Structure 1
Amino acid sequence: MKMEILPDANAVARRAAEVIAAQAREAVAARGQFLFAVSGGRTPWLMLRELADEEVPWDKVQLFQVDERIAPAGDPDRNLTHLQESLLTRVPISPSQSHAMPVEESDSEAAAKAYAQTLEKLAGAPPVLDLVHLGLGPDGHTASLIPGDPVLNVMLADVAITGVYQNRRRMTLTYPVLNRARSLLWLVTGADKAGPLVQLHAEDPGIPAGRVSQKSSLVLADTAAASEFINH
């Protein structure tokens, strides 16, 4: 794992946008497309707005969600709502290139299987994404891989449904597809992430994030989140 420590959340967002744009150009040059999955959360909204101003071959991008709350279309709880506002309305990407998790379907388990099939269709069998953006919760969760949830044990499916967490069930990518990704980009901001960031860096399996492979990971952290690394 590599780590860069930046002054604040805005600097993290700007640097993340630069990294994503560079990887997009490299992937398109090497393989003709860029397969990118994005998580939810406030720091990513800043990142996505910055990304809209970067030089990205948008016509060759396939955009996926890492996780999504099971909620109605347009609900402020939905990651898609913020993805649309922050990025999709600002860049020349067609609806056929943006793959929202189908959380409005009545059969969530079937919907998860359908999303896994979408991944296979576009990213191979088994799917290999070029870049996955991840966040880190104060409780050590990443994606919607939540402490104590049975979803942590899903190893034979790339997409799964969680139990209730913060009043919502969720659809999430699972460890197998995250660990196959060519590259992982972690955005970690805020003092409440300082402890979990130490555990992530140590690959501590005691938190869900610590069980994600770190072989091709870059962590962008602000000084508040990285305080344990700055002070020692």
Structure 2
Amino acid sequence: MTDDAMLTSKHALVTGGGTGIGLAIARALANEGAKVTITGRGQDVLDAVSGAGIHGAAMDVRDEASVNDTVANAISARGPVQICVPNAGIAEGHSVHKTNLSFWRNIMATNLDGAFLTIKACLPGMRDTDWGRVIAISSIAGLRGLPGAAAYSASKHGLIGLIRSLSEEYMGQPYTFNALCPGYVDTPIVDRNQDTIAQRTGMTKENARQLMIDANRHKRLIDADEVAAAALWLVGPGSHSINGQAIQIAGGQTA
């Protein structure tokens, strides 16, 4: 990083930033000079990856007071949030007839309510400046339904609807709102899902993992750094006309 790095002086906030896609995005932003706040429910996980421009703050995206207080503290320490990355999410599936209301509400509270609360808390800082970027991490499940994952798919569809509505509401102003829609990414979520699929179906863990690999059009897991590169593009020079988009990162056309 040099003094003329692309994002020097910008403050970015990434939810679910301690692992996987969130951590890859946080590191990419920090490498470009941004002051990055990462959040998650476990302070120990955040502390383990903090440093070099990355600052961890425990936060539960399901809790409005937790979100508001944590974002306010981050703004006090590092200035207005101009890059907001609602990434925190739960990727779990049940068939509808096996989905109880508690499971449904927890998925929605984390994946959709959490994004809404985070964006809402960060928006005032953007509106007080002359630049802002919101990049929500949705999924290909936000563009087409996935079998056995109705709650997850609905939450990710809702997230894209939120982003599209915000892009219309602030049209012509110096802020953009976009969603990234990855297929299966090589993160701990895939590791957990392979175990769940194997337990549910009786197949081997290797075959369960291959099932997810085969769901990506190019037949490989996506690297988290590929998603981070797309996020950098959306905050980089010349990105101001990319707005209200749901950008697929899935190895080919999926919807």
Same fold flag (TM > 0.5): no
Give the TM bin, normalised by the shorter chain: 0.3 to 0.5
What is the TM-score when the length of structure 2 is the normalising length? 0.40
Q: Greater relative contact order (Cα 8 A, min sep 6): structure 1 or 2?
A: 1
Structure having the higher Rg: 2
